[in-house]
Structure 1
Amino acid sequence: MNTYCSHMSARSRVRATAFLLWVILPFGILYAVPSQPDARATENARVVVGRYELSRDNEGRLLRSRDGWVTAEDISRPAPGFSGVPGVAGVQGFVRIAAVAQDPNNHLRFAAVGADDLYLTTDAGTSWEALDIKSRPTINSSLKFTAVAISPHNPDHLLLGTSYNGFFESTDRGRSFSRLSSGRAFAFMDRGAGFQEEVKALGFDPTERNLMYFELAFGGGSYSYRRNTGEVKSVTDPELVSFMRGGTNAALGVELLHTTTGNGPENARISERAATDDQAAFRRSRAADRTGIYIAAHRARGHLLAEYLDLVAEHGMNSIVVDFKDDFGMLRYHSSNETARAAGAVRPLFDAAELIRAAHERDIYVIARVVVFQDPRLYAYDNHRYALWDSRLDRPWGVFRSSEDGERQVESWVDPYSDFVHQYNVQIAREIQDLGVDEIQFDYIRFPSDGATRDILARHRGENTDRVAALSTFLSKAREALELPIGVDVYGFNAWYRMVYLGQDIEEMARYVDVISPMLYPSHFPRSFHGEYEYLDWAEFLYREGSLRSTVISGGVLIRPYIQAFLIGSELQFSTPYYREYLLRQLAGSREGGASGFTLWNASGRYYMIGEPLLPFTRPAESTSEEAADDQSANEEPVHEDATTEEGERQ
């Protein structure tokens, strides 16, 4: 028996087990219902199990029941305290909840966490207080909150779990927080470059004030922590681990909600969601297992296009990604969009009909890349009306670089909050869809990362919104307008951890898109991140683990990573055999991580890193059959030129 209950009698263990159902709440399971609600007592604490129960649905809505989930009410909208909280309302108009805990001594008191804040209620969710804890210097603004617990010994003592900074505690009802998961005892949680593994669940021991429990996500294990001594131990007790993961009662409570609400609003939402799910399944069946290369617009024509299509076919690939709207804000096909024409953005470089016909004749899937918010043409349009603004210099904001000829602007960003910017890009995507492409892929769907970002003023930002909501709003408009599969390109770290960095929250994006393409380029990760690996092993690990984690975090949308088919920095010293192996190891990691295809990226279009045929990664079944045939032939006795079979036929 582990330390959490080794000192208890059998009867006390049962009581502690029932208690843990109330205080240990993992990410995604908000509230676990005891099998027999009543008042219970342990040796050191009285636990009152009340009639109010809170849970969440699959969309993150906060739900409340008073009759054991025979009926339930949606209290996430318009719950007082949520709608008026700056920076948390999503495109749906409600705050998505990740986890909730109930005070074991007060059945009306709960703590809930969304991605960005901690909320407290003393009336079972009728009203909420938002604590704005990301404004505290101890909390990283890009992480997401994943777990919460309330102490049975002190109602002001809270635990808060995060996606990559471990867990924190507050002993003053959330007015201040300190990080607990730091120091040598927690070194096993460290992943390098300042990141720790995600905390999946948290809980307090019912009898020992200083004893806490936590579980790490992605198979990281369960542990006990003694606050007074700093001792951390692995926990293997099956009952405790089960409750740390939510237990069967929690899942049953949510399921009952979905099956016993009759013809009410929740039932209508289920029907609507089922229809949406069918449409998504159809789109994703078309987009699945697409392997290919990126082609810049100026190369997507004539003999160059033919050579790329030959390369794709030779290696068993089946897709191409082509710039239809590029990093310069230019539309590289013949567009009739009036705003684009007025902005001087229509500069065709290829015949879209000819490109699509040539690809489809060879059964190659065409993905149209559309760069969204990094757009120099729309940036300058109408006297910079839609540009991000520099609050310090009172001029359009941009990213500048010094050169021999002076300072030059290298990035020009439009305002991601602007409805006009949204509609402009959606109209372009709709026009491209009508040309006959197979998929729309949005790139630069984020806020700027370089330059003096602290000076950015988003003049089109409304109240009660944030960066994640801005991108979600755009994607929701695109989803409504487009029938084709939609893909998005995201930074590698944004797919590795739950985070909101630059607005790229793949959990939110996954509600509207079919494909997420993380750029897991090893050259773009700090070498200290999982630095225990040799470089080639590290590359394979990044793609394997990154593909797996992004699949889990996004909830199962297709993950089609971009493969680094270029060298940069110290990689330029790699020998030819080494960099070709480098490419293959990335592909191997993607396959092992369950990715649905891949895209090779080389901005120059020079795919020199491809050496041996890529068939093991593009057509594995055929490759396996060929290898088996080769192995069989290798094991046969050699046949001389004049040898004959038993039937007398020459071999």
Structure 2
Amino acid sequence: MLVKKSLYFCLFFLLAFSFSGCSTNNSNLKFIAFLHDDGIKGYSSQWFDLSDGLPRDLIPEHITEDFQGNVYLTSEFSGIFRLNKGETKWENISSPIFKRRTQLPDVHEFRDISALCIDPENQSRIVIATKHTLYESKDRGKSWQRINVVDNKNSYYFTSLALEKDTIYAGTSFNGILKITSKATEEINNGIPKEFYVGPFHFCEEVSALAIIDNTLYAGFLFGKGLYKSEDRKNWQKIDIPFSDTARASISAIYKSKNSILITTSEGVFEFNPSSGRVEKFPLKKELQEMLRDDRVNIIFSKAEGENPALFIKKNTWKYSAEKTSPAGNKRALYVSWGMIDKDFEGFLSIVERTGFNAVVIDSKDDQGMINFKVDSKIASEIKAIKERDITSIIERLHKKGIYIIARHVTFKDKRLYEAYGNKYAIWDKVTNKPWVGLPRERWCDPFSQFVRDYNIEIAKATAKLGFDEIQFDYIRTPTDGLVGRCLYRYKTESDTFKSEILGDFIQQAARECKIPISLDIYGFNAWYKFGNIMGQDIKFLSRFASAIYPMVYPSHFGASFYKRYSEEDRPYYIVRDSAIRAIYHSKGRTVIRLWIQGWDYLSPTWGPDYILKQIKGVHDGGGISYSFWSPSGDHSMVDRALSNR
């Protein structure tokens, strides 16, 4: 074997010891590890704290080093840091231009540094990504300039980078691989893994690693999609990696090691021989395998030593404890419409009790902006948005049965507020200079308006006072249908604010003020890929503030071509299972993932009790516990048949 295996054996043997070693110097730093509950640790001759200069709440994203042995660490919301060789204190080399755009006066943090690359031919040149933007430093991080990406769709979510002279190769969350020059941006995706949606329309798998080795471009992917190579920078060939868990296994980084290539993954290290085409699991002792399975450790970094390259391993699993620690956890819910409440609430309650559900979802504010029961709100009264209905008896009855009550609150889709005050808070049409209209029945308010956000939070707080246990914000996004390119957000205070950032402001403020769990609905595909700047639903970012997230993963709503490799009978199971896996990973396990699954017959050729049971099994096999059944009418007779054998 070309690599000195004893180095890696030593690494994982030492990792098995306690991480509470004494402090020491950094003259011979060998390893760095990130523990969920104990931060950044280093190892030279023993383990020691390596957090000097780092924020206490740091969440690292990537660690690498230059040829001189200086280490660079990027983070989710704390910026980028450098640890110079021989030193013990990290230096923050972030620029103010990386700052999160926010309208919250007390929030001072950075955008997610989602990708990093050091130029192999000029170690002073560093390129980073902050999700949708690229920046360059030519002086090791002393100064930074934004890179103009020609033909940028403004939806690209950069996840990995490789540099070759003046060309930047960028991996993305769903657009595949880009070749970026000063003159053009080209998608070079022929042969990479894709999921087809309808006809030729598709999503590319997230590119988690890029590397240029011996004039060949290599790309690594998330969720078992493996390793690919391109010699002509246009067409790609797959290199099979023998993963054991093809639903979860992911590639962290790709390195040159003399005559072979090392691929670090969530399942360990693999070695690829370009001459023979063989891929072998890099033989590691039992201690390594145990450490890779250890929930405490998420990131492992081994510095380069001699002919041994640096190795960065990022596990594709997070400790998912929110179900047990959050009051929003371990909830199985049924949605009940007001039509069903008025028509047959007794029948609905019988289903809840027979089937063992412990939560219900009730509409509080609907998509016309009407509040379905009496609340204390001056603004809602002014715009005549309150229905004279008393919900007290319903709440009391549900609580007596031990039922957790969730208020579904439609947020920015609000006809009442849109039309009020002379359309003052409507999204504007920059072509007609009038209030913007998307689909005929939809009216959208501007999420960048503090008044709009405050109004929704006022209603949520008033709803909580009535006895609801959780506020679930729906339609927490910007519009996606109609001539959305003409939308003008007049209340945007900084022109380059990401849509996800203003939604983050809203959820962060709501969570502070409402005093009960706050949750939000997102499109199902936003649990699969990072679509942050299209409609704002960035699951990774928003999961920092929400107690629960509900990806809407109804199997019938995934395109006709999606997951066609599975039978019609099994397709619902695999869609739900993989949605759970991805949602938990992207949210880093820090919020409850309560999938919305399908409780009504819609484009479902195998509809029946088994359809229901396979969705539930998909939740559990994907690592989830909580789920909610959606049926627009509130009719859950099929759920009843499936779970109570009626």
The alpha carbon displacement at 1:416 in A equals 0.7
Q: Which residue of 2 aligns with 1:640?
A: none
Q: Which residue of 2 aligns with 1:108?
A: 124
Contact in 2 for aligned 1:64/1:74 (Cα 8 Å): yes
1:538-574 superposed Cα distances (whole Å, 9 cap, x missing partner): 2221111111111111111211111122233x54xx5
Aligned equivalents of 2:429, 2:169: Cα separation in 1: 39
Q: Which residue of 2 aligns with 1:485?
A: 517
Q: Return closer, same or farther for 1:69/1:467 CA change in 2, 3 Å cut-off.
A: farther
Higher-Rg member (1/2): 1
The alpha carbon displacement at 1:104 in A equals 2.6
Contact in 2 for aligned 1:384/1:396 (Cα 8 Å): yes
What stretches of structure 2 of length at least 5 have no aligned partner? 8-29, 31-58, 243-253, 270-291, 304-320
Q: Which residue of 1 aligns with 2:146?
A: 130
Contact in 1 for aligned 2:196/2:203 (Cα 8 Å): yes
Q: Return closer, same or farther for 1:412/1:367 CA change in 2, 3 Å cut-off.
A: same
Aligned equivalents of 1:117, 1:318: Cα separation in 2: 44
The alpha carbon displacement at 1:310 in A equals 1.7
The alpha carbon displacement at 1:228 in A equals 7.0
The alpha carbon displacement at 1:68 in A equals 5.5
The alpha carbon displacement at 1:71 in A equals 1.2
Q: Which residue of 1 aligns with 2:537?
A: 504
Q: Which residue of 2 aligns with 1:322?
A: 362
Percent identity over paired residues: 30
Aligned equivalents of 1:169, 1:230: Cα separation in 2: 13
The alpha carbon displacement at 1:157 in A equals 3.1
Q: Which residue of 2 aligns with 1:614?
A: 643
Amino acid of the structure 2 residue aligned with 1:55: L
Counterparts in 2 of 1:130-529, with a 5 A limit? Answer: 130-133=146-149, 136=151, 140-151=153-164, 155-170=165-180, 172=181, 175-182=183-190, 185-186=191-192, 188-192=193-197, 193-205=201-213, 208-209=214-215, 211-227=216-232, 230=235, 232-234=237-239, 236=241, 240-243=261-264, 251=299, 284-300=325-341, 304-349=344-389, 351-401=390-440, 410-463=441-494, 464-500=496-532, 501-529=534-562
1:219-243 superposed Cα distances (whole Å, 9 cap, x missing partner): 2222333237956241659984554
Question: Equivalent residue of 1:150, what SS?
Answer: strand
- Root-mean-square deviation over aligned CA pairs: 3.5
Query: TM-score, normalization: structure 1?
Result: 0.74
Counterparts in 2 of 1:522-541, with a 5 A limit? Answer: 522-541=555-574
Amino acid of the structure 2 residue aligned with 1:597: S
Q: Which residue of 2 aligns with 1:585?
A: 614
Question: Equivalent residue of 1:398, what SS?
Answer: coil
The alpha carbon displacement at 1:97 in A equals 0.5
Which is richer in strand?
2
The alpha carbon displacement at 1:150 in A equals 2.1
Aligned equivalents of 1:60, 1:481: Cα separation in 2: 25
Q: Return closer, same or farther for 1:317/1:615 CA change in 2, 3 Å cut-off.
A: farther
Q: Return closer, same or farther for 1:231/1:461 CA change in 2, 3 Å cut-off.
A: closer
Counterparts in 2 of 1:20-31, with a 5 A limit? Answer: 29-31=61-63
The alpha carbon displacement at 1:437 in A equals 1.4
Aligned equivalents of 1:81, 1:289: Cα separation in 2: 41
Query: TM-score, normalization: structure 2?
Result: 0.74
Aligned equivalents of 1:380, 1:452: Cα separation in 2: 19
Aligned equivalents of 2:608, 2:153: Cα separation in 1: 36
Aligned equivalents of 1:166, 1:28: Cα separation in 2: 24
The answer to whether structure 1 residue 59 and structure 2 residue 58 are counterparts is no
The alpha carbon displacement at 1:376 in A equals 1.0
Q: Return closer, same or farther for 1:254/1:509 CA change in 2, 3 Å cut-off.
A: farther
Amino acid of the structure 2 residue aligned with 1:605: G
Contact in 2 for aligned 1:225/1:231 (Cα 8 Å): yes
The alpha carbon displacement at 1:382 in A equals 1.1
Aligned equivalents of 1:611, 1:548: Cα separation in 2: 26
Contact in 1 for aligned 2:101/2:498 (Cα 8 Å): no
Q: Which residue of 2 aligns with 1:266?
A: none
Q: Return closer, same or farther for 1:400/1:221 CA change in 2, 3 Å cut-off.
A: closer
Q: Which residue of 2 aligns with 1:547?
A: 580
Amino acid of the structure 1 residue aligned with 2:147: L
The alpha carbon displacement at 1:93 in A equals 5.0
Amino acid of the structure 1 residue aligned with 2:517: P
Amino acid of the structure 2 residue aligned with 1:95: R
The alpha carbon displacement at 1:353 in A equals 2.3
Contact in 2 for aligned 1:283/1:485 (Cα 8 Å): no
The alpha carbon displacement at 1:466 in A equals 2.5
| Greater Cα offset, 303-312 or 374-383 | 303-312
The alpha carbon displacement at 1:315 in A equals 0.5
Counterparts in 2 of 1:640-651, with a 5 A limit? Answer: none
Question: Equivalent residue of 1:31, what SS?
Answer: strand
Question: Equivalent residue of 1:106, what SS?
Answer: coil
Counterparts in 2 of 1:18-57, with a 5 A limit? Answer: 29-33=61-65, 49-50=67-68, 52-57=70-75
Amino acid of the structure 1 residue aligned with 2:388: P
Q: Return closer, same or farther for 1:288/1:82 CA change in 2, 3 Å cut-off.
A: closer
Contact in 1 for aligned 2:439/2:481 (Cα 8 Å): no
Aligned equivalents of 2:126, 2:147: Cα separation in 1: 14
The alpha carbon displacement at 1:607 in A equals 2.1
Aligned equivalents of 1:473, 1:100: Cα separation in 2: 26
The alpha carbon displacement at 1:444 in A equals 0.5
Contact in 2 for aligned 1:369/1:441 (Cα 8 Å): yes
Aligned equivalents of 1:111, 1:504: Cα separation in 2: 26
Question: Equivalent residue of 2:409, what SS?
Answer: strand
Q: Return closer, same or farther for 1:231/1:603 CA change in 2, 3 Å cut-off.
A: closer
The alpha carbon displacement at 1:471 in A equals 0.6
What stretches of structure 1 of length at least 5 have no aligned partner? 2-8, 15-20, 22-26, 34-47, 256-279, 402-409, 617-651
The alpha carbon displacement at 1:116 in A equals 0.2
Q: Return closer, same or farther for 1:420/1:85 CA change in 2, 3 Å cut-off.
A: closer
Aligned equivalents of 2:521, 2:120: Cα separation in 1: 44
Q: Which residue of 2 aligns with 1:599?
A: 628
